[in-house]
Structure 1
Amino acid sequence: MQSILIKNAKIYTMDEKGIIEKGDMLIKDGKISMIDNNINEDADYIIDATGRLVFPGFIDAHSHIGMWEDSLGFEGADGNEDSDPVTPHLRAIDAINPFDRSFEEAIEGGVTCVATGPGSANVIGGQFCVIKTFGKRVDKMVVKEPAAMKVAFGENPKSVYHEKHQMPQTRMATAAILREALFKAREYLNKKLEAQQDEEKDMPEFDMKSESLIKVLTKEIPLKAHAHRADDIFTAIRIAKEFDVNLTLDHVTDGYLIVDELKQENVPCIVGPNLTDRSKVELKNLDFKNPGILSKEGILVAIMTDHPVIPQKYLVLCSALACKSGMDEIDALKAITINPAKILGIDNRVGSLKEGKDADIVIYKGHPFDIFSEVEYVLIDGKVVYHRK
């Protein structure tokens, strides 16, 4: 694989090294090999980044890219199997189309990694995955799969199944359906463990839905909870505690109204999409000040687009507008780099510029929060996948 040397850059490492005012970065075999001043090793390709700013590739912790394809209707809508409110066995990797042009636009916007998966029609929607944004075959783009189990509270599952004249039509029913699925999965898991320990006991009859929820119960992946309104946020936390499972709160529109409670719970918050109209009652408190207020209280915050609600390429713009609304600049940058990496459990590979990590890198002419700034280079796994001529 080609070695690349980036010279004379202002490097935003997004880790303990902070900002390196003038440094070099050597990339070998798709990884960051060295970050230092005046690296003189030979390289196949040299990028003179004098006067340029270098960042880790930007990460969106909540997207549906590839699931609802650009410029298509029903033919490209593969994110909601709204024929059954409980579908934990559905996997995002079976629906993503890497040839959707939104991936190319994401790269041009500096977005190199996304968590993408089912929407919020169902109480349990299915399994999210984390992928790089460059590639032709999703299997080769995967960073983590499964990465989370999507669940939804509030008006989305209510409205979908109200039209079908079936449960859930109330918030009580949504909570009850989720609890029932988790109870069944826990019982299924216990029977499997008993059978493994006692040869006289039979394995339970295979149940694909319960099988899919085992990684939630064993804390290998979290529940990824769609929750806008404060009461729905608290219901998500309540159920996660009942079953002792990990949780991320996604959307969290009312978060700044209950920041004292969220600080006590110490649950990661993936905030957004904010660059939209208040199209439904759950969005009446929508405000770009939300992520900054949460972040200032020490809550781990990521900013999302919820693509295609906001096009994937505008992730950085969402972060800039949060900064404009009071979020600290570095915190706003962390909310699209190291924070989503931590929340998704992939910070050992991406999210900051550090020796040994994947060489997912964005080189900017100007600061990314300046609307007139431009992405000049994007590297994914040490390969130049975009170069603005």
Structure 2
Amino acid sequence: DKMVIKNPVASKIAFGENPKSCYGQEEKAPQTRMAIAAMLRETLKEAEEYLDAILMHEEDDENEKPDYDIKMESLLPVLRKEIPFKVHAHRADDMFTAIRIAKEFDLKLTLDHCTEGHLIVDDLVEEGYPLVVGPSLSERSKIELRNLTFDTAGILSNAGMEISLTTDHPVIPLPYLPICAGIAVKHGMKLDKAIESITINPAKTLGIDNRVGSIEIGKDADIVIWDNNPLEIQSNVIYTIIDGKVVYKKI
């Protein structure tokens, strides 16, 4: 708990094959992409009405206060735009669905995975939502990953997007993150942008860049010093510094 910088940081939702396979095999809704979108809209509408009732009661206590609903309460920070929806979306159509719903309910959004992001670059640049790409170092385990490529991160970054990389731990173990960034550089991403994609960019997306993500006065004094390019697999850590104290030193 002492390691937590911000809580809550986001609310997670999923589109595509994951909810379809999870509920579909039990013959429950949602079993289609249409049902996923419909049920999400329905839930958000209920949450909006719940919030409106709370606000009406706060303005005039003669208005009945709604019964406490923990499910609706969990969505209030999203509706108030205090935290974003982190959207699991691989396919282009799922990303577009998420964007439409975000606009409909005026929500903050991050698009996570973005496997087909390279196919809709211009649209993503125009919309401007934070993008989290990955895991790229994985097999095509489901049909929506058929367009998986190491090129996605570089294509989006070179188009001007500030992207973050993810291993989707534990799908791909977290220690592989620098390797994923190195592979992205090999496939067209600029080195400095790849470093930013695993440091300052995710810090901005999570809203914790006032504490971490870059070496600046006033931020947490957590620094790792390498003997070479940190994205090279044969590079080694020389020092690890946490809160300004050396906690690891290569002998």
* TM-score bucket (shorter structure): over 0.9
Residue 363 of structure 1: SS of its match in structure 2?
Answer: strand
**1: CA distance, partners of 2:6 / 2:249:** 27
| CA RMSD, 1 decimal | 0.9
1:202 maps to 64
How far apart are residue 179 of structure 1 and its match? 0.9
2:55 maps to 193
Q: 1:251 aligns with which of 100, 113, 118?
A: 113
Matched, 1:169 2:31: yes
User: What pairs with 1:213-362 in structure 2 (closer than 5 Å)?
Assistant: 213-362=75-224
Q: 2:233 aligns with which of 329, 347, 371?
A: 371
TM-score (norm 1): 0.64
**2: CA distance, partners of 1:283 / 1:190:** 40
User: What pairs with 1:87-166 in structure 2 (closer than 5 Å)?
Assistant: 139-166=1-28
Q: 1:352-380 CA distances to partner (integer Å, 9 max, x unpaired)? A: 10000001111101111221110122223
- Quick check: which one's helix share is greater? 2
2:45 maps to 183
How far apart are residue 298 of structure 1 and its match? 1.3
Identity of aligned residues (%): 59
Residue 279 of structure 1: SS of its match in structure 2?
Answer: coil
Letter in 1 for 2:24: H
**1: CA distance, partners of 2:60 / 2:208:** 37
Residue pair 1:267, 1:300 contacting (<8 A) in 2 also: no
**2: CA distance, partners of 1:142 / 1:304:** 19
**2: CA distance, partners of 1:381 / 1:282:** 42
Higher RCO (C-alpha 8 Å, min separation 6): 1
Residue 246 of structure 2: SS of its match in structure 1?
Answer: strand
Residue pair 1:267, 1:299 contacting (<8 A) in 2 also: no
Name structure 1 gaps, 5 residues minimum. 1-138
Q: 1:232-279 CA distances to partner (integer Å, 9 max, x unpaired)? A: 010010110110000000000000010011111001100000011111
**1: CA distance, partners of 2:152 / 2:26:** 35
Q: How many residues align?
A: 251
- Quick check: which one's strand share is greater? 1
How far apart are residue 382 of structure 1 and its match? 2.5
How far apart are residue 383 of structure 1 and its match? 3.4
Q: 1:155-174 CA distances to partner (integer Å, 9 max, x unpaired)? A: 11000101111000000111
How far apart are residue 388 of structure 1 and its match? 3.0
1:80 maps to none
TM-score (norm 2): 0.98
Residue 2 of structure 2: SS of its match in structure 1?
Answer: helix
**2: CA distance, partners of 1:291 / 1:353:** 24
